[in-house]
Amino acid sequence: MTGTDKGPVVVTGAAGGIGLAYAHAFAKQGRLVAFCDRAERVVEVAEDAGGRASGALGVVMDVADELSVDAAFARIEEEFGMPSVLVNNAALFVDLPFSRWQDIDVETWDRVMAVNLRGPFLCARRALPGMERRGAGRIVNISSTTAHVGGHQRLHYAASKAGVIGFTRALAREVGAFGVTVNAVAPGSTQSEGVRERYPQDMLDRAVAARAIPRAAIPDDLVGAVLFLASDAASFITGQTIVVDGGHVFL
């Protein structure tokens, strides 16, 4: 099999929120899906999705840690075979406090970069050899519209997500000859459970008012773009970033 529409899928940051929506969407297509997350509850989440018998595998993985990534992919390959799709979704965002640039300490800066930028690199590096041998593969990186407009008091997050776009473009140049595409999705403000719990309503309302389509975004709004870029239908699209924000940022 050289296509990607039926091979195993790896989704990072899949214990909840947007990542869980991606993982569920692939599972509904009948795909084998590795739900990966640093949080140990990801194992229970995968069981709730049907477990191994239904093609859902929960794998504890810290994307910022090389050994953890290697061990997780080794398990996924043992259970499912070589992944044909990687969705690099894991990121630090909701739990980051709003901080002026001069108040961001080096430890926090480094941790954001480790998860949000090193993580996609480590996961892609581990997934790519199998994709290259297969002669096909899809990597979908999750960026953010903050990479385009800046993030108010979120300098570290905005910088990391801009880095994801650069990473996407550069990697796409290197692996296209092997039948592997690398693209990104840049969501706008999305009202996942964590965002609704932590953000004031007036801030969420302002995000809605700034859109051409003036309604709240939910995780399911992002699924279509990810499924498309992960499919064989997108085999001639690479190095691109699709903004999914209801018409706030126009590129």
Q: Tokens standing for 94? A: 């909701």
CA geometry: angle 183, 116, 142, nearest 5 deg: 30
Biggest CA–CA distance in the chain, Å, is: 52
Q: 141 forms bridges with which residues in the sheet?
A: 88, 184
199 is catalytic: no
CB atoms within 10 A of CB 149: 14
C-alpha to C-alpha distance for 16 and 192, rounded to whole angstroms: 9
* Candidates 73, 121, 157, 167; catalytic one: 157
CB 36 within 8 A of CB 42: yes
Active-site annotation, residues: 157
